Chain A
């Protein structure tokens, strides 16, 4: 038996920031209760649980976090895809609902992180010893290549961060809620040229929760359902001609999602992309087909991704300002899209969006999801 469309019926967050006195179970529980309240459901309605998380949390985190909410015997699965863990968890929950196996599933994303620069791939000790593997370095090299190919300027990347910080002022869940000028961003400490400190996302504690339901079940609830109409995930594809700038086949996944949802990039009214470092927004809006390759820098510079622009991007402040507790980030992106599509985003509300897109990248993997009302 098929369940028809998949709906998001509840979203919730624990604020992002530093919460040394709270355990991940506390963060996850608060986000989950907010999402259940938002959905008008209780935990006993949830038939399957998925947890997105990345580091420092030990074995069986999902069982512990969901166990805080009740002991109802549901299956709980831990999902890890680096910074894209909870969006991938949402895809698994959606697959399960679409298959007809369950009618209500919940995703929780959690993370508690230490301060400082993350080191990917600890097994690559040769590269680590020589300082070759820093994450801002990887984005900086992609940025430099983009500058070489298209004439993109450091100011274009910095503008992304100015815009993100401006949006986050209106997001009570965001880690940084202070506006920054272009000069402040450009003149902050250089990390990996052209990326300065204020163009790097912070490390964060936080949690997100997303409740999904079958269309039939969603129609019984009071909230306006937001439909998750297409989703696709992938890993890098070997291309001998063009080494890609991004972490996965975003462009290919976007085409799949547009086709499956019968939409085009022009239909997208609000978008969340992976801006762990400011160049990410510029690469990604090109890969998602909103602008041609090389046009991302000028598009951002001219305000195209502002809340009032042609394509509002990262309206909640993005990873740069909302914060990036890795396991929670995908769920937070989805939370913002759902609030925008319902018209509940308050001072940062985009004018009447009908289609929202999420692009969430983890190290070596990427997810693209389309939402519609």
Chain B
């Protein structure tokens, strides 16, 4: 696909600051911004102000987990007008431990290798450069290479 891997040496900005930030301490990994209800504890993504579970007004921004599982997916063979991907590409709904579903591309694997239930982790993808020469990044998910034992430092 036309999107590229992030070059860690280059300065980068998120494509949409309402959806995620870049964790510079972790080498610019995207961190999805979830919204947690202080009353009932449900998490939401993307942004909401009012909890659809209990009606509480004023949700709290929280970092969402970097890993999840493929809840469902499709291999798209046709690129819609205006999109920067190249066919075939994988669109998925990723289930995070906070019980939210996130729509995302799946990268770094052959489309036919994707499975429901597959463990995936968030990864940055470059969509373009801005006027100042910085990489503009989106997030995608990719298969977890090593099984879950490792802990992040």
Contact = CB atoms under 8 A, between A and B. Distances in A.
Given A126-B15, A126-B19, A238-B52, A131 B74 contact: no
Interface stretch (B23-31, B59-67, B82-90): B82-90
A143 B73 CA distance: 9
Given A141-B93, A144-B116, A240-B42, A130 B105 contact: yes
A119 interface: yes
Interface in A285-338: none
A290 to B, nearest CB: 24
Interface residues of B, number: 35
A131 B76 contact: yes
B153 interface: no
Contact of A192 (B52, B76, B101, B138): B76
Contacts of A136: 76, 78
A136 B93 CA distance: 14
B110 to A, nearest CB: 13
A144 B117 CA distance: 12
Contacts of B82: 119, 128-129
Nearest to B3: A130
- Grouping DSSP codes into helix (H, G, I), strand (E, B) and loop, the A interface class, with mixed when no group exceeds half, is mixed
Nearest to B19: A126
A131 B85 contact: yes
B97 to A, nearest CB: 14
Contacts of A117: 78, 80-81
Contacts of A143: 74
A309 B45 CA distance: 43
Given A128-B82, A137-B91, A243 B74 contact: no
B76 to A, nearest CB: 5
B76 A137 contact: yes
A193 B78 CA distance: 11
Interface in A91-131: 116-117, 119, 126-131
A132 interface: yes
A200 to B, nearest CB: 10
A195 B77 CA distance: 10
A321 B51 CA distance: 41
A191 interface: yes
A132 B1 CA distance: 14
B127 to A, nearest CB: 7
B78 to A, nearest CB: 6
A141 B73 contact: yes
Contacts of A116: 81
Interface string A147-171: 0100000000000000000000000
B108 to A, nearest CB: 15
A192 to B, nearest CB: 5
Contacts of B38: none
B53 A243 contact: no
Interface string A190-212: 11111100000000000000000
Interface string B121-153: 000000100000000001000000000000000
B80 A192 contact: no
A57 B79 CA distance: 26
A232 B103 CA distance: 30
Given A141-B93, A144-B72, A238-B52, A134 B78 contact: yes
Contacts of A141: 72-74, 91-93
Interface string A353-364: 000000000000
Contacts of B117: 148
B147 to A, nearest CB: 21
Contacts of B99: 240
Contacts of A190: 75, 77
4 closest A-B pairs by CB? A131-B83, A140-B74, A238-B52, A145-B72
25 contacts: A117-B78, A117-B80, A126-B15, A126-B19, A126-B138, A128-B82, A129-B84, A129-B127, A130-B138, A131-B76, A131-B84, A131-B85, A133-B80, A134-B76, A137-B91, A140-B76, A143-B74, A148-B72, A148-B116, A189-B77, A193-B75, A194-B74, A195-B74, A238-B53, A240-B99
Given A140-B76, A141-B91, A193-B75, 20 more contacts: A116-B81, A117-B81, A119-B80, A119-B82, A128-B80, A128-B83, A129-B83, A129-B84, A129-B138, A130-B3, A131-B76, A131-B89, A133-B80, A142-B72, A144-B74, A148-B72, A191-B76, A192-B77, A193-B77, A238-B52
